[in-house]
Amino acid sequence: MKYRAVRGMHDILPEESWKWQYLEEKIRTFAHRYGFREIRTPMLEYTEVFQRGVGEGTDIVEKEMYTFLDRGGRSLSLRPEGTAAVVRAYLEHNLGASGTPVKLYYIAPLFRYDRPQRGRYRQHHQFGAEILGTPDPAADAEVLSLPIRLMQDLGLREVEVHLNSVGDAACRPRYIAALREYFGRYLDELCPDCRRRYDVNPLRILDCKEERCHRLTREAPTIFPYLCQECRNHFEGVQEHLDWLGIRYTIDPFIVRGLDYYTRTAAEVYSGKLGAQNAMFGGGRYDGLASQLGGPPVPGVGFGMGIERLLLVLEEEGIALPREDGVDVFVATTGKTGHREAFQLLDQMRQAGLRADGDPSHRELRAQMKLANRLGARYAVILGEEELRLGMATVRNMASGDQERLPLEGLIEALRERIQKT
């Protein structure tokens, strides 16, 4: 085979896409229940949106973006994450003008040029939601509760929330100074990336997965003694609101969002029993992002959850999704005659709202029944020569194999009744 999909990108084939449809519908239902409305931004933005909105010096912007010049010589990038584009659109269309908060969600492909690995693709898909225009901790708890309740509804019972505050412009600098002082004593022991982070933003050392850094991190000062009163109140407010919902969480000082415009709440949510946990999604508050993009200050909080990841975890935990993509009725002929009647009947069934299919080649009946099975048909309608002469059809229940003869007149209604009953 000469051509393959681009490395790190995957086709979602019919054997998988029904799960996507199920999840997407569930996600939309949940988002609408929580009062979020959908936003669809273009797949491309001017590169600057992400340089400003994700941050220069981050791995995403430095190493992982698909960036190219268009024919007019402008630098464009495929969206590597969801929030910056949403905030860009919010500012561009002044969405807060008719009142706040503004609650937006999206299901969208994201693109990152990183090492392809299991469950991670260079094009992957994310469900995210943002509450813009309110600094209130209730918004943080609300936006986090949406994906948590969704996970629980899907059957993921062991949901663990890790919660932290990363402070704000008023108090974080003092904490960063304390981290510099601490890690400054161990510079030689840090990994090369962290030695660079030490200069740029030592907060991000706390995030490092390298064992040698991780060991030092465990003894590092936490932010809690450094939080200002406002940040402290906010953090307590988020916890209080989660308590009210009965959502349990662990305070985890090593959950950081290492960019300057992230403020206060940082959260990561895991699924599964302790020791075998899967990271499910991350979220946080980004009150500095709108100004970073050149707009007025707009407080915001949100999360992003990978759909490939969610599907993988559901599979690993043995949770089956209900399959709903089969056809209702397969219309078969005995092969030689009835082509016209079958073709017309299919058309009538489809106009009446049934999912109906047939064999365009009218092969022998056995081959048609095989096709009916493959399509997941619940009923087969067989138009034999004798049946047609009598104005009848044979209706076979594909699961039980039971057959009955029904008049063609009123057949669609009769089938609809049977389908609704099962």
Round to whole Å and give the CA distance between 419 and 422.
5
Nearest approach, Cβ of residue 300 and Zn ion (Å) = 17
Smallest gap from residue 19 Cβ to Zn ion (A): 37
Q: Between residues 66 and 254, which has the closer beta carbon with respect to Zn ion?
A: 254
The residue written with tokens 């896409």 in the block is 17
- Binding residues for Zn ion, rule: CB under 5 A, are 167-168, 170-171, 191, 194, 208, 210, 213, 228, 231
- Looking at beta carbons only, is 139 or 307 nearer to Zn ion? 139
Q: What are phi and psi of 274, to 5 degrees?
A: -50, 135
Cα gap 356→365, rounded to integer Å: 17
Amino acid at 77: S
Q: Minimum CB separation from Zn ion for residue 224, in Å?
A: 11
User: Least Å distance between CB 37 and Zn ion?
Assistant: 31
* Nearer Cβ to Zn ion (284/338): 284
| Number of residues written out for the chain | 422
Which of 83, 165 has the CB closer to Zn ion? Answer: 165
- 214: helix, strand or coil: helix
Closer Cβ to Zn ion, 39 or 231, answer by number: 231
Q: How far is the CB of 153 from Zn ion (least distance, A)?
A: 35
CA-only gyration radius of the chain, Å = 28
Q: Which is nearer to Zn ion, 158 or 260 (CB)?
A: 260
**Measured between alpha carbons, how far is 265 from 279 in angstroms, rounded to an integer?**
17
Minimum CB distance to Zn ion, residue 216 (Å):
9
Query: What residue spans of 78-163 are helical by DSSP H?
Result: 83-92, 137-153
The two tokens of residue 171 are: 């108090």
* Residue 9 vs 228, nearer CB to Zn ion: 228
Burial of 294 (0-12, 13-18, 19+ CB in 10 A): exposed
The DSSP secondary structure of 372-416, one letter per residue, reads HHHTT-SEEEEE-HHHHHHTEEEEEETTT--EEEEESTTHHHHHH
Instruction: Supply the minimum distance, in Å, between the C-beta of residue 236 and Zn ion.
Output: 13
